[in-house]
Homo-oligomer: A and B are copies of this chain.
C-alpha cells in the first residue's frame, strides 16, 4: 500500500533494461520510433495490471519490480504460469484478449507500447521481431522446465527448485558452482509460492521449515534467505549437478 516514489526512466538511454528487453537489438533510429509510441505506467504492489479476458490496448516490458502471470479455475484454484522480472515482455502481439491475469507482486514500473503501432513497427523491424522470438523461446524453455517441476517433483524438491531459480538470478551468483553463501529476499508470499508450485501454502511453509532445520537454507525474518551452499540446494532440487541448465 505504500505509494513509494518509483524511479521511472526519462528516456531509453537511461533505461535499466535497455539491453535485455525487446528493444535490446534496436539501433538509434528504431529506438526513436519506439519512443513515439511508448509511455510509462506504475502499479502498486497487489494491483492487478491486466485481467484475463480483457482487451489489451498495450504490450510492454517490466522495467522494475515483479509481477505474476496466473490462471484461475471457476472454483478458485489458481496456478501461476509465469513470473515476470525486469525486462520480461507482457502481452501477445496479434491477439486482442489477455489470456492470463497479470498482478504486481511488488511496486512495478511498466514500459508500455500502444499495441497497434507496436505491431506495425514489429512487422517492419526485424531487430524487434527477432529479439521477441529469442525471448519467447527462452520463456518456452522455462515453462517446460517448470512442467517437470509441477508434474514430477516432490514438495521438498519443488521448494528447492524455486529457491535455486530465484537465487540464481536475483542474487548475482558468481559464475560456476560458487561455494560461498548466497543471500536474497523472497519476492513472493507463501501463498504465491504455493500457486507457483502447485502446492498448498501450509505445505510450502512446512517444507521451508524442514529445509531450514536441515541447514539447507537459513532464514532471517520470513523473507530474507541465505543459502550457505548452493550446490547442496541444487541437489535438493533434484536437478543434475550442473544445474540442468545446458545451453
Chain B residues lying within 8 Å of A130, measured Cβ to Cβ, are 123, 129
Question: Smallest CB–CB gap between A200 and chain B, Å?
Answer: 11
Whether, in the assembled complex, A7 has its beta carbon less than 8 Å from a beta carbon of chain B, the answer is no
Asked whether A144 lies within 8 Å of B143 as measured between CB atoms, the reply is yes
Which 8 A-B pairs rank lowest in CB-CB distance, beginning with the nearest?
A151-B198, A150-B150, A81-B144, A143-B143, A79-B151, A79-B148, A77-B152, A150-B151
Question: Smallest CB–CB gap between A118 and chain B, Å?
Answer: 14
Interface size class of A (residues with CB under 8 A): 35 or more
Asked whether B147 lies within 8 Å of A73 as measured between CB atoms, the reply is no
Question: Smallest CB–CB gap between A72 and chain B, Å?
Answer: 9
A interface residues (Cβ-Cβ under 8 A, vs B) = 53, 69, 71, 73-75, 77-79, 81-82, 92, 94-97, 99-100, 123, 126, 129-130, 132-134, 136-137, 139-141, 143-148, 150-153, 197-198, 238, 240, 246-247
The chain B residue sitting closest to A52, CB to CB, is B246
Question: Smallest CB–CB gap between A201 and chain B, Å?
Answer: 14
Question: Can you name 12 A-B pairs with beta carbons within 8 Å?
Answer: A75-B238, A92-B141, A94-B137, A96-B247, A97-B246, A97-B247, A99-B141, A129-B130, A139-B140, A146-B147, A150-B151, A152-B198
User: How far apart are the CA atoms of A143 and B99 in the complex, in Å?
Assistant: 13
* Known A97-B247, A100-B144; contact A152-B73, beta-carbon cutoff 8 A: yes
Chain B residues lying within 8 Å of A147, measured Cβ to Cβ, are 71, 79, 81, 143, 146-147, 150
Asked whether A246 lies within 8 Å of B143 as measured between CB atoms, the reply is no
